[in-house]
Structure 1
Amino acid sequence: MRTLKQLVRFGWEQALSCLFPVVIFASLALTQIIPLPLLPRYDWLLIICLLMQWGMLRAGLETRDELKVITLFHLIGLALELFKVHMGSWSYPGEGYSKVFGVPLYSGFMYASVASYLCQAWRRLKVELVKWPPFLVVFPLAAAIYLNFFTHHYWIDVRWWLSGLVLIVFWQTRVLYEVGGIRYRMPLALSFVLIGFFIWIAENIATFFGAWEYPNQTDAWSLVHLGKVSSWLLLVIVSFLIVAMLKRVKGNGSVQVGSGQLTTAQYK
């Protein structure tokens, strides 16, 4: 019974942390079913995302520091979108006044929603990281993962090498989180895989409602290839590493570098 209560509490905290992504998916579904007047769909989606971001800040659901992180991810995601659409990896076939080089500006919020989830979950679950690698290791790794999204179009794709390197670098790193006053821990690499898999599920929902379109979905929607999980996994890793590094820069004590030991009396 206690385990069930903890699962419900954990699920509720996760649901609250996913508020921004849920609004985006709901907006994708509604604007696909119900045509809105005056403006193209992509422009309405941008307005909804901006209003949602403003509302969360005003309601205290997000802090100003979190907004800065989310804005950074919006820009990082938008840069990736501009490049990928240019290379033909996917497309946005609809019309829109807010499209820049074929990319609607609302698309950056889909990346920002991942950052929003990470920031919200970090705060709600009181996340801590133990045995976090040095900055001089983490930063180049994050940069290499992000750059590979661009360079693999011109050079070899080293995503699997980078994934292996992530396992080596973060082999001893643990995520500590709190549910109902009880602390738990899990390997950081496992959390990467879980988040990446659920984002792949979300991607299938997004493409079903026409958020964007892969070449094989031009004639009819089909399941996004399972291989895309690796792409989202690496994107999650980049997102997590950036948030963790920013937390460390802020000096809030939630990231412990070195070989700090845990006691079994404290953690499950």
Structure 2
Amino acid sequence: MRPLKQLIRFGREQALSCLFPVVIFASLAITKIVPLPILPRYDWLLIISLLMQWMMVRSGLETRDELKVISLFHLIGLALELFKVHMGSWSYPEEGYSKVFGVPLYSGFMYASVASYLCQAWRRLKVDLIKWPPFWMVVPLAAAIYLNFFTHHYWIDIRWWLSGLVVVVFWQSWVIYEVGGARYRMPIALSFVLIGFFIWIAENIATYFGAWEYPNQADAWSLVHIGKMSSWLLLVIVSFLIVATLKRVKAKDRIV
């Protein structure tokens, strides 16, 4: 029975870590089915996201340091959204007062929710990193992955080269986590793939409820192409690298 109990404990901690993303998905579903009065749907989603963020900090579910990380991801995600919508990669067809250059401001919270999950899971599962690559390798790699989301529209797409480089850089790296007092480990590359896969599933749910729209979904909803998982995988890697780097810098500051 112990493996089953450990699995339940792990699932519970994961569910608690996903609180912010769950609220966003629930809001997408509810506002799609039940139109809210006075304001357009995108504006209500922004208000709900802001209230949820305030409640999480106010209740202690998130620390102020985690709020800083999440705010950084909101800006990073919003910058990517502005560019991708401008390039026609996807669109937000509904009206909204909080749209800037065709992008509703709530969209940044979808990226922030990924950071929220990582920060929450990191703390709840007492994550530790083994054989983490040096700072001078991690930061340029994260920057190159993020920049490729922009540059591949004008130059060659090097995502598969970057993916191969990730495997090489993190070949000996492991993530250690704790469940019910027992410590487990997993290759970091495997954790990237698993998180990226579940975000791809979440993306299908989000587009079904009209969070955004790909060109091939303009007439009717269809499954997001499996190739998009590579984009989410790389985005997860960037997210993980940023969170891990900030956590390690913070830990060193405390030691000093």
- Give the TM-score band, short-chain normalised: over 0.9
Which residues in structure 2 correspond to 1:239-258 (within 5 Å)? 239-251=239-251
Match of 2:40 in 1: 40
Please list every run of at least 4 consecutive aligned residues from structure 1 whose deviation after the TM superposition is greater than 4 angstroms: none
Match of 2:161 in 1: 161
Kindly indicate whether residue 205 of structure 2 is the aligned counterpart of residue 205 of structure 1. Answer: yes
Unpaired runs of 5+ in structure 2?
none
Q: Taking structure 1 as reference, are residues 97 and 198 closer, same or farther at Cα in structure 2, changes over 3 Å only?
A: same
Aligned equivalents of 2:190, 2:209: Cα separation in 1: 29
1:16-60 per-position Cα deviation (integer Å, ceiling 9, x unaligned): 000000000000000000000000000000000000000000100
TM-score (norm: length of structure 2)? 0.98
Match of 1:183 in 2: 183
Match of 2:139 in 1: 139
Aligned equivalents of 1:252, 1:52: Cα separation in 2: 31
When structure 1 is superposed on structure 2, of 146-155 and 244-253 the one drifting more is 244-253
Aligned equivalents of 1:107, 1:72: Cα separation in 2: 14
Kindly indicate whether residue 214 of structure 2 is the aligned counterpart of residue 214 of structure 1. Answer: yes
Task: Note the C-alpha offset of 1:143.
Answer: 0.2
Match of 1:122 in 2: 122
Match of 1:27 in 2: 27
Task: Note the C-alpha offset of 1:112.
Answer: 0.1
Kindly indicate whether residue 17 of structure 2 is the aligned counterpart of residue 17 of structure 1. Answer: yes
Aligned equivalents of 2:180, 2:245: Cα separation in 1: 27
Aligned equivalents of 2:151, 2:7: Cα separation in 1: 41
Q: Alignment length, in residue pairs?
A: 254
Aligned equivalents of 1:53, 1:66: Cα separation in 2: 11
- Amino acid paired to 1:192: F
- Amino acid paired to 1:185: R
Aligned equivalents of 2:214, 2:247: Cα separation in 1: 35
Q: Taking structure 1 as reference, are residues 207 and 87 closer, same or farther at Cα in structure 2, changes over 3 Å only?
A: same
SS of 2:186's equivalent? strand
SS of 2:131's equivalent? strand
TM-score (norm: length of structure 1)? 0.94
Structure with a larger share of its residues in helix: 2
Aligned equivalents of 2:57, 2:244: Cα separation in 1: 21
Identity %: 87
Match of 2:57 in 1: 57
Q: Taking structure 1 as reference, are residues 118 and 252 closer, same or farther at Cα in structure 2, changes over 3 Å only?
A: farther
Aligned equivalents of 2:110, 2:163: Cα separation in 1: 23
Aligned equivalents of 2:214, 2:251: Cα separation in 1: 41
Task: Note the C-alpha offset of 1:248.
Answer: 1.1
1:176-204 per-position Cα deviation (integer Å, ceiling 9, x unaligned): 00000000000000000000000000000
1:217-239 per-position Cα deviation (integer Å, ceiling 9, x unaligned): 00000000000010000000000
Task: Note the C-alpha offset of 1:252.
Answer: 5.8
Aligned equivalents of 1:118, 1:153: Cα separation in 2: 29
Task: Note the C-alpha offset of 1:251.
Answer: 1.6
